[in-house]
Amino acid sequence: MFGKGWKLYGVFALKCPRCQEGDLFESSAYNLKKIGDMPEHCPNCCQQYELEPGFYLGAMFMSYLLNIFVVAFAVLTYILTTEQFNEVHCILLVAVIIVVGGPFMLHLSRSAWISAFVKYNPDWYTENPNEK
């Protein structure tokens, strides 16, 4: 549905926002020893990943929003299915989603944060031939 060139493709594929080919992270979200490790720049187009010191502090707000959506989903599920789904189920659902999905949400929030500031440019090489 969303192919290369769409902003959401780069965000969900965890790719460089400029070329959408280089990986944003050095390892999987579930490799907890290297969960936040990112290369300094894109291996494909040399886009800097940390635009300024402390750049990814803003990604905490993106992560917060993602977790709010998880809680809202659980509350909505509770409201719509009160006979089969009680408060304990709601709390367990939120806890499981946040614990299991937490590492991926960290990667997703960083990807969304940098994508908000770096524009996709399929012609990056012709415009900056000295970068590679």
Q: Which domain holds residue 103?
A: 7-127
Q: Is residue 54 one of the residues assigned to a domain?
A: yes
In this predicted model, what pLDDT tens digit does every residue of 64-118 receive, in sequence order?
Answer: 988 898 888 878 877 887 777 777 877 888 888 888 988 999 999 999 999 999 9
Other Cβ atoms less than 10 A from the Cβ of 42: the count is: 23
Q: Is residue 132 one of the residues assigned to a domain?
A: no
Q: Judge if pTM exceeds 0.95.
A: no
Single out the residue of 68, 54, 73, 70 nearest to residue 113, CA to CA. 54
- Both tokens of 131, joined, read 């970068």
In this predicted model, what pLDDT tens digit does every residue of 29-69 receive, in sequence order?
Answer: 899 899 889 999 999 888 999 999 999 999 999 889 888 98
Structural domain total, the chain: 1
Q: Is residue 95 one of the residues assigned to a domain?
A: yes
Q: Is residue 19 one of the residues assigned to a domain?
A: yes
Task: Tell how far CA 114 is from the center of its chain.
Answer: 9
Q: Is residue 2 one of the residues assigned to a domain?
A: no
- Both tokens of 84, joined, read 């089969």
pLDDT of residue 128: 56
